[in-house]
Amino acid sequence: MSERQFTRSCPHFGAISPLSAPVCLRCNCSLPPATVGQTAAFSYKRTISWIAGALLAAALLLVAAGAGLLHAHLSSTMAYQEALRLAKASPAVQAVLGEDVHLRSAAFGVAFTGHGSEFVQFSIALAGSRGAGHLYAVANSIHQNLQFSRLSFLPEAGTQYIDLTPVPQRLSLPPVPAKKVYLIPMGLSDSEPLDWAQLGPGGHA
């Protein structure tokens, strides 16, 4: 589109001024009213700018809504709640963050649930009266038995992770009926005995 559609010339010196300027920028004399073509071109430019701004605002709103839904989903998991509890109770994290520990950002990650199990992986920024940092967690739960494979905190001003991963606990599995297991030593030499097999009731391994 021609530049002349968005500018006009001074009738005295020919200086170029923006279409929206009421006076010449050089001599300060009054400029004649814009022609119909110039007015239409200026209105077209404003319409395009308004549409572009509206599309950008809509895209930002969609991103914000998606981030909010993701945070709500992650924060509802048992792994998220337990990770925050362990982090806030850690003396090492308290030494970095100080008091009034709170969320500094929304949680970002993934969570999959199915068949009584749940996998959660996320990171979230925490802050307090003394400093800030990021909490990282990877956890699995089976029938409400939660196990962290990773739980660590990285201070904002440092490069050393604080390991918060709990010691794995023995899973509490439902009881099953007693079964007999028979070990057949096929292909074993005399130096490879089966003495490690503990005999159960009735003399069966």
| 71-114 residue pLDDT tens | 888 888 999 999 999 999 999 999 999 999 999 888 999 989 88
| 27-37 residue pLDDT tens | 766 666 655 55
Asked if residue 98 and residue 51 are part of one domain, the reply reads no
Choose one of 72, 100, 127: the last residue of a domain.
Answer: 72
pTM of the model: 0.56
Report how far residue 20's alpha carbon sits from residue 205's, in angstroms, rounded to the nearest whole number. Answer: 96
Total domains in the chain come to 2
Tokens linked to 166? 């709990």
Question: Phi and psi of 158, rounded to 5°?
Answer: -140, 175
- Of 162, 97, 158, which is closest to residue 131 (Cα–Cα)? 97
Position 90 scores a pLDDT of 94
Q: Which domain, by its residues, includes 35?
A: 3-72
Assess if residue 195 is contained within a domain: no
For the chain, how many residues are written? Answer: 205
Asked if residue 55 and residue 97 are part of one domain, the reply reads no
Query: What count of other Cβ atoms lies within 10 Å of the Cβ of residue 96?
Result: 21
Assess if residue 157 is contained within a domain: yes
Asked if residue 148 and residue 112 are part of one domain, the reply reads yes
Q: Which residue has the higher pLDDT, 131 or 170?
A: 131
169-175: average pLDDT: 70
Report how far residue 35's alpha carbon sits from residue 87's, in angstroms, rounded to the nearest whole number. Answer: 68
Assess if residue 172 is contained within a domain: no
Tokens linked to 105? 């950002």
Asked if residue 38 and residue 58 are part of one domain, the reply reads yes
User: Helix H segments across the chain?
Assistant: 36-75, 78-89, 91-97
Assess if residue 119 is contained within a domain: yes
Choose one of 72, 89, 121: the last residue of a domain.
Answer: 72
Asked if residue 22 and residue 86 are part of one domain, the reply reads no
Tokens linked to 155? 């201070």
Assess if residue 122 is contained within a domain: yes
Asked if residue 89 and residue 58 are part of one domain, the reply reads no
Position 159 scores a pLDDT of 81
